[in-house]
Amino acid sequence: MSRPLRRRALDPRPALRRARAAWPGALALTLLVSCAQQGDFGRPKPGVWNSLVDTTGTVIAHERGEPASLLPLTDDEQDLRNRAWRFLMPADTREAFLDILANLTRARVLPPSWRPDDPARFYDALLAPDFRSPVSRYRKLTDEAVADARLIPPFAGLAARVGDADARRLRSLPFARTLDDADVRRAALRVAENRCLVAWVRLETGSRLAAYRYALEHLFAEAPDPAAAEAERALAMLAGRRPILDPLLPPDAAAKCGLVGEPPAAAGQPLVVKG
């Protein structure tokens, strides 16, 4: 059968001042070397380039007025960001430039709202020439959906632990006698940053599920194969586990974080209320 046509730690203030002065050059360097480097278990590969992208993104997001704190990360906060990497990068683009843009968006060098919502992109990647049979395309779809489904529970457990620590952090702020307003603000920004990261992952899992569904329906319409049944079970597994993320944050968290359009009822209500 012919292949279907392709359709398409200390006081961070001095560091912040130095970063503000240096970030244009750092951004230019980042654009050159920010190809996504994936490690094991859906986490970024440790290395200087991924670290550079993340540091640059934090500074630029802070400049845009987004929740971004230069406080050092706890072990759980770092692990949360590592585990989020899987869901904030595209499943498969087959295009290096799009991977670069996706990694810059994931690191917040580019705003999260920049990423186009195109459920057909994953399907287009499945039409790449190296997928020489419908079975290999169904297998790729199945593998991606199963991997996402398996990674949701550990991410949700870690997010809940970070959320508990943040709640204790916020409760302690009114009783801290040596913190000034800037200290309190940095702590509150970190809490908001953590929550917005979880909201972003929750949003992206829905987008990935929609992209997988789009790919499965179009693949089956063009090349029916028994392998579609396994892919359908994989999508059902992902759909069943995605709601694990729902209790972590209010339903409108993505809107309050600026990830989606804000409904009128949510206007003026911050994601983090300081005591």
Residue 275 lies in a domain: no
Tens of pLDDT, residue by residue over 49-86, are: 567 777 778 888 888 888 888 889 999 999 999 999 99
Pairwise CA distance, residues 109 & 104, whole Å: 5
Residue 54 lies in a domain: yes
Residue 21 lies in a domain: yes
Residue 3 lies in a domain: no
Q: How many CA atoms, within 13 angstroms, populate the side-chain half-sphere of residue 128?
A: 11
Residue 6 lies in a domain: no
Tens of pLDDT, residue by residue over 139-179, are: 999 999 999 999 999 999 999 999 999 999 999 999 999 99
Domain carrying residue 171: 13-266
Residue 243 lies in a domain: yes
**Which of the two residues, 143 and 132, has the higher pLDDT score?**
143
Percent of the chain whose pLDDT exceeds 70 = 74
- pTM to 2 decimal places: 0.78
Span of 98-112, 133-147, 164-178, 200-214 with lowest mean pLDDT: 98-112
How high is the pLDDT of residue 92?
Answer: 74
Residue 207 lies in a domain: yes
Domain count, the chain: 1
Residue 76 lies in a domain: yes
pLDDT bin (cut points 50, 70, 90) of residue 258 is: confident
